Amino acid sequence: MRNALAFWRRFSRNRAALLGLFIVLAIIAVAVAAPFLYPDDPMGMVAQPFLWPLQDPEFPFGSDSLGRDLGAQIFHGAHVSLLIGATATIASVLIGVTVGSLAGYYGGWVDEALMRFTEVVQTIPPFILTIIVVAIFHSTIGTIVVAISIVSWPSVARLVRAEFLTLREREFVQAGIVMGMSDFRLIVTQILPNSMTPVIIAASLMMASSILIEAGLSFLGLGDPNVVSWGAIIGAGREAIREAWYISALPGIAIIAAVLGLNLVGEGLNDALNPRLRRR
C-alpha cells in the first residue's frame, strides 16, 4: 500500500503522464457510455447525409455519406479500438513473457533457438504479416487480435529475456535453487514478479501501437465488417474526401488522442518505475 502510494506520488508529479491518464480514462468512459448515449445501431441510417458537425444540433458530430450518425460511430468505435488494443496486448505479453522467460532461464540451445525464431519474426514487416493473416483467415475481431499479437510479442520476449539473464544470477534465485524449488516455481513466483516493470511499460506502448495497427487494417477494409471502427470510418470517408473531409478527420483525432494518451501513460510509468532515469 505504501509502495503504491509512493508510486502514485512519483507518477502524478509528471504532468504529461497525468494528462495521458486523463485522456485514456476519458476514452474508456466514452466506450462505456456508447451503448447508453447511442443505444441504436451505429450503422443505422438516421440522419440526412453529409451533415457537417454542429450543423444540426441533434447530430453534433455530423453524419456520413449514408446518413449514419458520426457521433454514434465514433463512440462505438472507441469500444472496438480499446477491446482489440487490450486483448492483443494481453495476448502478446503472454506469448512474449513465455518465450522470454524460457530463453532467459534455460539459456543454452533453448535460448539460441527461441531468439533465432524471435529474430525471424522481427525481420518480417509486421504490418504486412498482419494483413496477410487477416486476409487469409477472414476478418473477425478474433483473427485481428491474433494477427496483431503474432507481430507484437518479440519486443516483450527480448525485454523479459534480458531481465531473466541478470536476475537468475542473483542471490535470491540461487537460494531458491538450493531450497529445491522447481524450475516452474522459480520462474513464476521468484523471477517473473521481479521482471515485470519493463513489461508493464512496454504493454501500454504496445496497446497504443495495437490500436494503430487495427486502425490501419480497418482503413484498408480488412476490419471486422460487423463492428464500427475508427479506421473503417476514415476509409469510408475517403470516397467523399473532397467535399466532406470532416468524416475522415474526426475519427483520426480520436485515434491520435487514444494513442497519445497511452504513450504518455507508458512514459509516465517508465519515469515513475525507473526513478534513476527520470532525468529526461
Query: Is 107 near other proteins (CB under 8 A)?
Result: no
Q: Which of 61, 153, 164, 219 binds other proteins (CB under 8 A)?
A: 219
- Closest among 148, 158, 96, 155 to 127, alpha carbons compared: 148
Count interface residues toward other proteins (CB under 8 A): 44
- Using rule CB under 8 A, residue 146 touches other proteins: no
CA distance linking residue 72 with residue 39, whole number of Å: 9
Between CA 21 and CA 155 the distance in angstroms is: 24
Taking CB under 8 A as the criterion, which residues in 61-80 touch other proteins?
Answer: none
* CB of 137 or CB of 172, closer to other proteins: 137
User: Which is closer to other proteins, CB of 102 or CB of 259?
Assistant: 259
Counting contacts by CB under 8 A, is residue 276 touching other proteins?
Answer: no
In this structure, are residues 144 and 232 in contact, taking their beta carbons and an 8 Å threshold? no
**Contact predicate 103/115, CB 8 Å:** yes
Show the site string, 242-271: x = touches other proteins by CB under 8 A, - = not.
x--x--xx--x--xx--xx--xx-------
Task: Select from 238, 239, 275, 278 the one that contacts other proteins (CB under 8 A).
Answer: 238
**Are the CB atoms for 69 and 35 separated by under 8 Å?**
no
Under the binding rule (CB under 8 A), the answer on residue 215 touching other proteins is yes
Tell me the window of 37-45, 46-54, 92-100, 209-217 that interacts with other proteins (CB under 8 A).
209-217
Locate 18 and state its grid cell: 497525468
Smallest gap from Cβ 264 to other proteins, in A, equals: 7
The residue within the footprint of other proteins, chosen from 45, 120, 175, 200 (CB under 8 A), is: 120
DSSP letter string, 213-262: HHHHHHHTT-S-TTS--HHHHHHHHGGGTTT-THHHHHHHHHHHHHHHHH
